[in-house]
Structure 1
Amino acid sequence: MAAGLVDTLKGAGPFTVFAPTNEAFAAALTALKITKEALFADKALLTKILTYHVVSGAVLAADVLKLDGQEVTTLGGLTFKVTIDGDKVMVNTSNVIKTDILASNGVVHVIDAVLVPAA
């Protein structure tokens, strides 16, 4: 399944990825009480978490600002909430810390925590 996600993201897109930092992934593994190896072995959970970070379409920072208070549907069909507080932009409880990293098929925004879908 995760391979299917990679194939999807290699497609024409466009996509927007809210990408957690390496530190955010390490903290999430600790919080979830799971090892990296166990997460990678659980393809269903891995795919659910990864697709929770991807939105169809190229959503630039200026577009994100227009989403204040709205639920956004992810590639996996789940939703997360965008909140703006002054100059702080949050996706659920994750802070957006770097924006508008352009890719050939979309855009990446870096966040400081992994978005974990409800069980």
Structure 2
Amino acid sequence: MDANKKAMEEKVAMDEANVKAREMKMKEEAKQKEMMATSITEVASNNQELSTLVSAVKAADLDKMLSEPGSYTVFAPSNNAFEKLPKNMSIAELGKPDNKELLTKILQYHVVSGVITSDKLVEAINGANGKYTFTTVGGKELTASLKGEKITLKDEKRNKTEVVLGNVKASNGVVHVINDVLLMK
């Protein structure tokens, strides 16, 4: 009888553990779904001014990276920024399968690991005597400085752009909208 009672207790304990495990899995899946709904990709998708960027990110297969857990800062070119590109670098050209590698590199040049809010960036610029250089996920450098109260970025081709909207929060980082596409050498 004791053996039956012990077996029954073990079965009940195992069932309880399975129920708890299922509950934990459901909570984790719900948390993941909520995080993806407020990810950098979704935040950008909900901003009409970033529709060209969203299309480019999807064409380069970077949408998954910017939807998953992580910690990123994205300097997001506006639609107008893409329109300023020369014809041979237009989004129509970059979106072609033959140019996917170049498009990916250009987009990675706009992403930095970690969250850099405007306040942190200004603090870093001031702490570095007016010019703060940091490395993107593509391994290239960007230099930030201040022009009055505005944060400006200088790319490797010495082009400058301005942050026109900063600190757009996402579950996996922060987005700063810029008015030019950054280009590397």
TM over 0.5: yes
Displaced runs of 4 or more, over 4 A: none
Match of 2:100 in 1: 43
**How high is the TM-score relative to the length of structure 2?**
0.59
**How high is the TM-score relative to the length of structure 1?**
0.89
Q: Relative to total residues, which structure has the larger helix share, 1 or 2?
A: 2
Considering only CA atoms, is the larger Rg found in Structure 1 or Structure 2?
2
SS at match of 1:6: coil
Q: How many residues align?
A: 115
Distance in structure 2 (CA, Å) of the matches to 1:37 and 1:95: 24
Query: How far is 1:85 from its partner?
Result: 2.3
Match of 1:100 in 2: 167
CA 1:80/1:64 → structure 2, altered by over 3 Å: closer, same or farther? same
Q: Does 1:110 align with 2:177?
A: yes
Match of 1:33 in 2: 88
Unaligned runs of 5+ residues in structure 2 are 1-58, 126-130, 155-159
CA 1:63/1:32 → structure 2, altered by over 3 Å: closer, same or farther? farther
Query: How far is 1:32 from its partner?
Result: 5.3
Answer yes or no: is the 8 Å Cα contact 2:82–2:91 preserved in 1.
Answer: no
Match of 2:136 in 1: 74
Q: Say which structure, 1 or 2, has more relative contact order (CA 8 Å, 6+ apart).
A: 1
Distance in structure 2 (CA, Å) of the matches to 1:100 and 1:35: 27
The CA RMSD over aligned residues, in Å, is: 1.5
Distance in structure 2 (CA, Å) of the matches to 1:103 and 1:7: 14
Aligned-pair identity (%):
38
SS at match of 2:63: helix
Match of 2:52 in 1: none
Q: Relative to total residues, which structure has the larger strand share, 1 or 2?
A: 1
